[in-house]
C-alpha cells in the first residue's frame, strides 16, 4: 500500500482522496492510502481531513520531511507545480501532479529531469486517458478502421468561471491564461495527443465576451505532425460539455461525454456503444501506485506530458500575437 500526502485540500484534492478511501480507510482494491495533507487554508479542510484520517501538516517542507509519506499528490495552483515536483523528487518522494503540469515547456522538462535523476515516478493526472471508450477509440484509429486521419475536433467546456471572484487563484489570469484551458481545455489537448499524436502548430483566438475575470471563449485551429488538422474550443461560461471526434477517410468516430461512442463508416451500418461509468480518479491513482510498485509504467509518457505543456505555451503565444505559433519539439 502506497502511503501518500495530498497537497492542496480544496475541492479537487478532496475528490482525489475520496476516490480511493472512505472514513480514513482504503476502499476495497485500493493500492494507495492518503495519510497526511497540507493546504493554505487548513481550517476550511479540517473536518473533512479528520473524517478521512489525515494528519494536517503545516507546510510543504513538513510533507517532504515526513518519513511516513512515500508519495505526494499535488492539487495546487498551476504555477507552483514545477518547483513542488522538483522539491519532492529531491526528497525522494514519488509525485502525482494535477494538470496543467506546468505553464511552460522549460519548467516541465526540468521537473521531469529531476524525477528521472532521483529515480522517482512522476504521474500527470489526465484522467480521461482511463476511459474505456477512449481505449476503444485509440485501438480503432491505430488499427486502421478510420483510414487516413484527416481532422480532429475537441470541445471541453463548462460553467466554472461563473463562480470565480477577484482574489481566487483560478481567477488570476497568470494562473489561468486562455480562460478554461487550465481547468478543462488542457485535458482535451492531452486527449488529442494521446489519440492522434503531436502538434506541429497552433493559431488561437481567446477573449472575455462576458466574464470579468478570465477569458470565457478560447478557440484553436491546429495542425498535427501527421498532417491532420484540429479544431478545438474551451468555453468557461457554458453548461458542461465534452466531445472528441476523429474524421478519417474510412469513418468518423465520436465520443460524446465519457460513455457514448458512435462510429459512422464510409460503407456499412453506423453504430453507437454505451460504456459503463468509470471512476477515472481511482483508476489514475491505481496506475500511479502500480508504477511506484514496479508494475506497468504509468500510461502517460513523460515526453507527452512535456509536449502537452509545449502546446499550451504555444497557444498562449499565438493568442497574444495574433499569429500562428510552432509547437516546440
Segment 187-242, tens digit of pLDDT: 999 999 999 999 999 999 999 999 888 899 999 999 999 999 999 999 999 999 99
Same domain for 175 and 201 = yes
Quick one: 172 and 277 in the same domain? yes
Which candidate, 46, 33, 36, 37, places its Cα nearest to that of 7? 37
Same domain, 159 and 203: yes
Q: Tell me what percent of the residues of the chain surpass a pLDDT of 70.
A: 100
The predicted model gives 142-150 an average pLDDT of 98
User: Which domain CATH number covers 192?
Assistant: 3.30.360.10
122 and 167 in a single domain? The answer is no
- 117 and 137 inside one domain: no
Number of Cβ atoms within 10 Å of the Cβ of 290: 18
Range of the domain at 17: 2-127
Mean pLDDT (whole number) for 237-262: 98
pLDDT at 163: 83
Mean pLDDT of the residues in the chain: 96
Q: Which residues pair with 325 in a beta bridge?
A: 202
Burial pattern 63-101, b for ≥16 Cβ within 10 A else e, equals bbebeebbbbbbbbbbbbbbebbbbbbebebbbbbbbbb
- Co-location of 294 and 211 in the same domain: yes
Rg of the chain over CA atoms, in angstroms? 20
Whether 171 has a pLDDT exceeding 80, the answer reads no
Q: Return the pLDDT at 325.
A: 96
Last residue of a domain, one of 97, 127, 157: 127
Asked if residues 137 and 255 have their Cβ atoms less than 8 Å apart, the reply is yes
- Which residues lie across from 38 on neighbouring strands? 7
How far apart, in whole angstroms, are the C-alpha atoms of residue 65 and residue 49? 20
Does position 329 have pLDDT exceeding 80, yes or no? no
Q: Does residue 186 contact residue 154 with C-beta atoms inside 8 Å? A: no
- How far is 35 from 144, CA to CA, in rounded Å? 46
Query: Looking at residue 70, what is its pLDDT?
Result: 98
pLDDT at position 173: 81
Is the link from the previous residue into 100 a cis peptide, with omega within 30 of 0?
yes
Answer whether residue 291 shows pLDDT above 90.
yes
Chain centroid to Cα 144, Å, comes to 27
132 and 116 in one domain? no
Same domain, 132 and 118: no
Q: Are 286 and 163 in contact (CB under 8 A)?
A: no
* pLDDT classification of 166: cutoffs 50, 70, 90: confident
Other CB atoms closer than 10 Å to residue 117's CB: what's the count?
11
Distance, in Å, from the CA atom of 288 to the CA atom of 2, rounded to the nearest integer, reads 9
pLDDT of residue 165: 79
**CATH number, residue 12:** 3.40.50.720
Residue 287 has pLDDT above 90, yes or no: yes
Q: Which of 17, 49, 45 is nearest to 33 (CA)?
A: 17
| 121 and 156 within one domain | no
Question: Which of these three, 127, 142, 167, is where a domain ends?
Answer: 127
Q: Is the pLDDT of residue 39 over 90?
A: yes
174 and 237 co-located in one domain: yes
Average pLDDT of the segment spanning 119-141: 98
- Point out the domain boundary residue: 92, 127, 162: 127
In the chain, the number of structural domains is 2
Q: What is the pLDDT of residue 170?
A: 80
Contact 93, 120 (CB under 8 A): yes
Is 90 exceeded by the pLDDT of residue 174? no
* One domain, residues 86 and 133: no
Q: How confident is the model at residue 274 (pLDDT cuts 50, 70, 90)?
A: very high
Q: What pLDDT sits at residue 200?
A: 98
**Judgement on whether residues 154 and 287 belong to the same structural domain of the protein:** yes
What is the predicted pLDDT for the residue at 176?
A: 85
The answer to whether the CB of 179 falls within 8 A of the CB of 215 is: yes
Statement: residue 109 has pLDDT above 90: yes
Confidence band (pLDDT; 50, 70, 90) for 162? confident
Amino acid at each position: 500500500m502506497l502511503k501518500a500526502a495530498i497537497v492542496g485540500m480544496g475541492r479537487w484534492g478532496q475528490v482525489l482522496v475520496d476516490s480511493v478511501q472512505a472514513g480514513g480507510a482504503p476502499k476495497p482494491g485500493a493500492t494507495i492510502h492518503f495519510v497526511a495533507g497540507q493546504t493554505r487554508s487548513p481550517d476550511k479542510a479540517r473536518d473533512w481531513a479528520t473524517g478521512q484520517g489525515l494528519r494536517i501538516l503545516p507546510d510543504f517542507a513538513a510533507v517532504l520531511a515526513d518519513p511516513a509519506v512515500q508519495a505526494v499528490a499535488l492539487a495546487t495552483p498551476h504555477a507552483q507545480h514545477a518547483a513542488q515536483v522538483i522539491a519532492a523528487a529531491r526528497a525522494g518522494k514519488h509525485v502525482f501532479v494535477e494538470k496543467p503540469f506546468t505553464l511552460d515547456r522549460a519548467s516541465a522538462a526540468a521537473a521531469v529531469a529531476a524525477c528521472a535523476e532521483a529515480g522517482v515516478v512522476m504521474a500527470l493526472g489526465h484522467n480521461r486517458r482511463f476511459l474505456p471508450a477512449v481505449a476503444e477509440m485509440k485501438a480503432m484509429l491505430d488499427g486502421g478502421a478510420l483510414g487516413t486521419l484527416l481532422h480532429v475536433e475537441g470541445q471541453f467546456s463548462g460553467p466554472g468561471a461563473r463562480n470565480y471572484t477577484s482574489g481566487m487563484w483560478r481567477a488570476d489570469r497568470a494562473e489561468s491564461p486562455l480562460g478554461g484551458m487550465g481547468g478543462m481545455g488542457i485535458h482535451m489537448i492531452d486527449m488529442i495527443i494521446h489519440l492522434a499524436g503531436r502538434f506541429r502548430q497552433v493559431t488561437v483566438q481567446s477573449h472575455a465576451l462576458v466574464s470579468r475575470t478570465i477569458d470565457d471563449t478560447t478557440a484553436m485551429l491546429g495542425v498535427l505532425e501527421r498532417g491532420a488538422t484540429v479544431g478545438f474550443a474551451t468555453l468557461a461560461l457554458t453548461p458542461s460539455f465534452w466531445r472528441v471526434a476523429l474524421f478519417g477517410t474510412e469513418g468518423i468516430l465520436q465520443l460524446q461525454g465519457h460513455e457514448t461512442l458512435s462510429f459512422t463508416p464510409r460503407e456499412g451500418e453506423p453504430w453507437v456503444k454505451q460504456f459503463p461509468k468509470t471512476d477515472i480518479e481511482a483508476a489514475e491513482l491505481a496506475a500511479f501506485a502500480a508504477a511506484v510498485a514496479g508494475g506497468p509504467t504509468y500510461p502517460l509518457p513523460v515526453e507527452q506530458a512535456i509536449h502537452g505543456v509545449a502546446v499550451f505555451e504555444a497557444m498562449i503565444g499565438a493568442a497574444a500575437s495574433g499569429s500562428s505559433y510552432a509547437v516546440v519539439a
